[in-house]
Amino acid sequence: MKACLFLKYIKHMIISRKHLLLYITVFFSYHIHINAQNIGVAKADSLYHIGNYAHAIKAYEKTSLKTKYIKLQIARAHKAKGTYTDALKHYKQVLALDDVELSTKIAYAKLLTNTGKYETADSLYSTLVTKYPGNPDFQYRLGIVKKKRKDTLAISFFKEAFRLDTTHQKSCFEIAKYHLKKRDYDIVWETANLGLHSYPENVELLSVLGQSFLLQENYYAALPYFEKLLDLNQKNEFVHTKLALCYSKTYAHKKATLHFHEVINHYNKSHGLYTSLAHQYLSLQKYDEALKYYHMALKLKDLPIEEDLYTIAIVYRFQENWEQAIKYTKRSLKENPNFARGQYQLAMLADSYYKDPKIKLKYYNTYLKKFESDQELAFFTSRIKKRVLQLEKEISLHTKSN
């Protein structure tokens, strides 16, 4: 009897030992698996942080830990490498889970905006604005989405953002730009200067103020803003063109030429720019340079070109190169026979160049034949008639003396 009991006890001990070994095996296998998964996640995180997003995504997908963190990291990696459709899909999966962080909602909303999903972005930002009415950035971003959707309510959200935070530069710019389009110059001035008070180097606000004064044709007031933009290393076609215009209008022609050259050499070689540059050289009495750029402009311009030919003639006149001046004036009239200023100038040039009064008279009479009846040209017609009488008298006296 005792022997049987002893055998049962030994058997029980063997079974318990097997169970214990099984439990220990399962326990260690589980922890080995978890550690392996954690190592996999750590490797994926490392790849993500050094910008190797494609390999990071593969590493995250290999792990069997399909947690919220893993899903979010996959979404972030897709966004970082520019595969936005996949990023949106994974963000949407994360947002379907419980207890989603606010930062994730914000990232999703921004991605929706950047990918043109404005209706969904509008809905999400509207929710955020309702829940966090004191957050100026949510107001601003909802305004941006509304603006993209051509919703007139956009400006109200920009203004609310700026009311909540007068240092919010982006909403300040949107308000200033909105009123610039409406030519509300006083509001532009007030709003932009509020923004510049907190951040004096806001290039967008400096640009808005410069443009505001340009639209008012106050070139002296506009000039400092574009100079400031240049100081802030905003060396682009827009700034150089506006500086060239301001310097030209404020009679700083030498500085204007520098900026016109910058635009022509690096950005734009249009007819108008060459003509403007030539005007600066003409104002500086550098006639050879003026002629050079007028001729270059002429090669670029489509018809009509009578004004350009006429201007070239004027430069030759300043050089007292009468033959060339007459030649280009005649060419301008060939382009446009009804070009009154050209016809008048031709008569003046002929009067200065030819010695024979009969030839001079011929040019004046040609002008009168074309334009004597034009009341808008009465002043020029009266001057020419006086000169015609003088020439006729001169011719008559010369005839009698012979």
Residues 99-122 pLDDT 10s: 889 999 999 999 999 999 999 999
More confident residue, 230 or 27: 230
Give the total residue count for the chain.
Answer: 402
The reported pLDDT for the residue numbered 71 is 87
Name the pLDDT band for 61 (thresholds 50, 70, 90).
Answer: confident
- DSSP-assigned letters across all residues of 228-292: HHHHTT--SHHHHHHHHHHHHHTT-HHHHHHHHHHHHHHT---HHHHHHHHHHHHHTT-HHHHHH
Report whether pLDDT(303) > 80.
Answer: no
Report whether pLDDT(398) > 80.
Answer: no
Q: Note the helical H segments in 50-153.
A: 53-62, 68-81, 84-95, 102-114, 118-131, 136-148
Report whether pLDDT(155) > 60.
Answer: yes
From 34-43, 68-77, 167-176, 182-191, the region with the lowest mean pLDDT: 34-43
Report whether pLDDT(364) > 90.
Answer: yes
Whether 247 contacts 255, CB under 8 Å: yes
More confident residue, 64 or 152: 152
The reported pLDDT for the residue numbered 381 is 92
Name the pLDDT band for 38 (thresholds 50, 70, 90).
Answer: low
Distance CA 199, CA 48 (A): 35
Report whether pLDDT(17) > 70.
Answer: no
More confident residue, 301 or 146: 146
Amino acid (one-letter) located at 23 = Y
Report whether pLDDT(37) > 80.
Answer: no
Name the pLDDT band for 387 (thresholds 50, 70, 90).
Answer: very high
Distance CA 276, CA 254 (A): 12
3-state DSSP assignment of residue 163: helix
| H or E element in which residue 19 lies | helix 2-49
Report whether pLDDT(36) > 80.
Answer: no
Distance CA 125, CA 151 (A): 14
Most confident region among 173-182, 318-327, 357-366 by mean pLDDT: 173-182
Report whether pLDDT(317) > 50.
Answer: yes
Report whether pLDDT(193) > 50.
Answer: yes
Whether 263 contacts 240, CB under 8 Å: yes
Distance CA 14, CA 31 (A): 26
The reported pLDDT for the residue numbered 26 is 43
The reported pLDDT for the residue numbered 23 is 47
Residue 303 neighbours by CB under 8 Å, 6+ apart? 335
Provide the mean pLDDT of the chain: 88
Distance CA 281, CA 285 (A): 6
More confident residue, 382 or 32: 382
The reported pLDDT for the residue numbered 144 is 97
The reported pLDDT for the residue numbered 86 is 92
Report whether pLDDT(29) > 50.
Answer: no
Report whether pLDDT(30) > 70.
Answer: no
Cα Rg of the chain (Å, integer): 40
Distance CA 379, CA 142 (A): 62
The reported pLDDT for the residue numbered 318 is 92
Report whether pLDDT(87) > 60.
Answer: yes
More confident residue, 66 or 346: 346
Helix, strand, coil fractions of the chain, as percent rounded to 5: 80, 0, 20
* pLDDT 10s digits, 245-256: 999 999 999 999
The reported pLDDT for the residue numbered 35 is 47
